[in-house]
Amino acid sequence: MSITEIFAKAKSEDRAVLIGCMPAGFPTVDDSIASMIAMHEAGCDVIEVELPYSDPVMDGPVIQKASDIALAAGVRTRDTLRIIEAVSNAGAPVVLMTYWNPIEKYGVNAFARDLAAAGATGMITPDLIPDEAEEWIAASDEHRIDRTFLVSPSSTDERLAMTVANCRGFVYATALMGVTGARTAVSQQAPDLVARVRHADREMPVGVGLGVGNGKQAAQVAAFADGVIVGSALIRCVLESSDRATGLARLRALSTELAEGVRNPEK
Amino acid sequence: MTAPALPDLSGHFGRYGGRFVPEALVRALDELEAAYRSAKADPEFQAEFEDLLLNYAGTPSLLYPAKRLSAKAGAEILLKREDLNHTGAHKVRNVLGQALLAKRMGKPRVIAETGAGQHGVASATAAALLDLECVVYMGETDTERQALNVARMRMLGATVIPVTNGSRTLKDALNEALRDWVASVDHTHYLLGTAAGPHPFPEIVRDFVGGIGIEARAQCLDQIGRLPDAVAACVGGGSNAIGIFHAFVPDEQVALYGFEAGGDGIATGRHAASITGGSSGVLHGARTYVLQDDDGQTVESHSISAGLDYPGVGPEHAWLHDTGRAEYEPVTDAEAMAAFQLLCRTEGIIPAIESAHAVAGALRIVPALTAELGRTPTIVINLSGRGDKDVHTAGAYFGILDPVETLVPGEQE
């Protein structure tokens, strides 16, 4: 199923889409595949695979640490593609989240081709704005990969409209001015940002990320957004568990809780 | 025909530069650019900046004919004495300009990244002078190596935050400063320390330090009645180099040489030479030359000089390299330290180890320049900083920190 279809289906069920994020190769290639499949089985509609990068400036301490562990274990860009292939073969829709340099190094067109071949439906680019994305837009059009750019509470209306116009699939609204990581309360800026996106484009699904960590917060965000994106809280399930079984059990439990949240929006 | 002014309107130097940043920062970068354009056109702002440079920073710095070094080198060498500036380096020019800009934008807080601590100290200095809150991010490894600079920043009222993630050095301090800025951008200016990062930083920093080249060019004409044959500078992020190059770029008869930190040698992989030993990529907000592996992961840099120990370089240098207007060569730790010692012994000047790379490189190009010109060449070297901060490193390198040895001269083993 394409991202657009997933959002449409969720909308018809009067709920939000749950997007769960996990770095590729954390703590090992096989472990990350197991984690992602478990997340999907327990209720994550879409798996957001993050390509580990040495300088992740949009990410808080949890994703930084997980990325460092994956890189220290030797994960390569080709492993990330392999992981995507395994997870999408298991039936989970996959989008890739990646900083730009690894893609530029791989070759933009070649990467879009191989990403599509691996079964991913879209790609989120936290440090690539449409202004710099000419090559990516051409490659993603050619290989039919959905493009997700970010919008922020600081985006002007003009930039917001321009950014959304360049997205396909969904747009990623960063709920607050800051980096990734669970927060104690849902950002007050998020509902306003989503409303501004809808004003620019009534059709484009909006996923909200940054700061969502439990079922209650997922329910709060589901009330005003089309998608709820959770990363750090899920990663912590693995990071803080001493063995693989415990980590998977915690991941399943949290995914289930979040999936319930997006099905019960706090209206 | 005049070349078009760079960067272009979208912040690019050819294919380099630009803005590879989270959308959250775009508005702040747009505001910074607008504030800079208005400040640049405002005589009052320019007068205030000039006044601080003249009466506080101690510029224009001297252009000093280094006679004994010249005799050793076989060239006429003129040293642009940025080491004599307040806080000991060219960096004071940039921090004063940016701190004034922060004031103008009504931002009461500045953040900065620092490697060895020189930019941190300069930022803390400007913040104290202009009554701004100052937070400096510094890799934990560096806070341990440079405890004295940490103390200096604290004396000046700054908060120093040791960065404990990644490689715990300058690049991670920069990441952390960017993360702070994403969250604090409405009241905080990021006082970036070199002519790198997303547009408009490379242009702003270049312009604020551009006085180095403007002065050196005028001083040359005044003191020797003509332009030099070559200008030499060290290149890490590249602010001192772009500062002295920029005014000379239109003078095609003046060769421009940037000397990167070659560390143990390019072949060893242990170096910080992004242009001569790296490849095109995107790092810290701009497309430029980067030290990276086959997957585009940043590779850690190595140099005896903390100020050059950075895996990227300003995008304008990438452009000057590709167009052939400037030449870039690596200088190893050993070559730099030999030049360091030579300058100490011939001129009584202890340079920053960064600047010693420029001296070493200049010495190297003399034979080729002499052959090409058929006469003794004149070379301006940007002596970008003084070596007080490097006494420990250099002392250890030369093995002269042992008190017994210094007390009993002539009785070495």
Cβ-Cβ contacts under 8 Å, A131 against chain B? 10, 18-19
DSSP letter assigned to residue B265? B
Which of B19, B28, B283 lies closest to A132 in CB terms?
A: B19
Which of A56, A106, A128 lies closest to B20 in CB terms?
A: A128
Mean pLDDT for B342-354 is 98
Above 70 in pLDDT, residue A211? yes
pLDDT of residue B146: 84
Give the closest-approach CA distance of A13 to chain B in angstroms. Answer: 32
Residue A201 placed within a domain = yes
Of the candidates A54, A72, A64, A84, the one whose C-alpha atom is nearest the C-alpha of residue B296 is A54
pLDDT of residue B141: 84
- B28-36+91-205: CATH architecture: 3-Layer(aba) Sandwich (3.40)
Q: What are the structure tokens assigned to B282, written together?
A: 């995107």
CA B59/CA B53 separation, integer angstroms:
6
Task: Check: CB of residue A262 under 8 Å from CB of residue A222.
Answer: yes
The helix (run of H) or strand (run of E) holding residue A267 is none
Is B295's CB within 8 Å of A76's CB? yes
Burial A71-92 (b: 16+ CB within 10 A, else e): beeebbbebbbbbbbbbbeeeb
Q: What are the structure tokens assigned to B10, written together?
A: 């979208």
Give the closest-approach CA distance of B184 to chain A in angstroms. Answer: 7
Of the candidates B333, B288, B338, the one whose C-alpha atom is nearest the C-alpha of residue B18 is B288
List Cβ neighbours of A188 (8 Å cut-off, separation of 6 or more).
none
Residue A24 placed within a domain = yes
Is A61's CB within 8 Å of B283's CB? no
pLDDT tens digits, one per residue of B221-265? 999 999 999 999 999 999 999 999 999 999 999 999 999 999 999
Cβ-Cβ contacts under 8 Å, B31 against chain A? none
- In a mutational test of the B interface, the residue from A179, A196, A239 whose CB has the highest number of chain B CBs within 10 Å is A179
Confirm whether A131 is a catalytic residue. no
Q: How far is CA B191 from the centre of its chain?
A: 14
Which of B26, B290, B294 lies closest to A129 in CB terms?
A: B26
Of the candidates A41, A46, A1, A58, the one whose C-alpha atom is nearest the C-alpha of residue A21 is A46
pLDDT of residue B412: 47
Residue A202: how many other CB atoms lie within 10 Å: 7
Above 50 in pLDDT, residue B363? yes
ipTM: 0.95
Mean pLDDT for A119-142 is 98
Structural domain including A178 reads 3-260
Residue A265 placed within a domain = no
Q: Residue A133: give its domain's CATH number.
A: 3.20.20.70
Residue A96: how many other CB atoms lie within 10 Å: 26
- In a mutational test of the B interface, the residue from A51, A100, A132 whose CB has the highest number of chain B CBs within 10 Å is A132
Query: Which residue in chain B has the smallest CA separation from A111?
Result: B295
Task: Check: CB of residue B329 under 8 Å from CB of residue B362.
Answer: no
CA B200/CA B252 separation, integer angstroms:
26
Above 70 in pLDDT, residue B405? no
Q: Which of A153-167, B90-104, B131-145 has the lowest mean pLDDT?
A: B131-145
- For the domain covering B56-88+209-398, report its CATH number: 3.40.50.1100
Q: Which of A31, A45, A48, A85 is catalytic?
A: A48
The total of structural domains in chain A comes to 1
Phi and psi, residue B251, nearest 5°: -85, 90
Residue A253 placed within a domain = yes
Is B20's CB within 8 Å of A105's CB? no
Q: How much of chain B, in percent, has pLDDT values that exceed 70?
A: 97
Q: What are the structure tokens assigned to B381, written together?
A: 């070297």
Q: Is A149 touching B (CB cutoff 8 A)?
A: yes
Residue B42: how many other CB atoms lie within 10 Å: 12
Residue A267 placed within a domain = no
Of the candidates B328, B345, B164, B343, the one whose C-alpha atom is nearest the C-alpha of residue B261 is B328
Is B179's CB within 8 Å of A179's CB? yes
pLDDT of residue B411: 46
The helix (run of H) or strand (run of E) holding residue B161 is strand B159-163
Give the closest-approach CA distance of A56 to chain B in angstroms. Answer: 7
DSSP letter assigned to residue B61? P
The full DSSP string for B301-343 is P--S-GGG--SB--HHHHHHHHHTSEEEEEEEHHHHHHHHHHH
Query: Which residue in chain A has the smallest CA separation from B176?
Result: A57
- In a mutational test of the A interface, the residue from B8, B15, B16, B23 whose CB has the highest number of chain A CBs within 10 Å is B23
Residue A93 placed within a domain = yes
Q: What strand order describes the sheet that includes A227-230?
A: A146-148, A122-124, A94-97, A46-50, A17-23, A227-230, A206-209, A171-174, A150-151
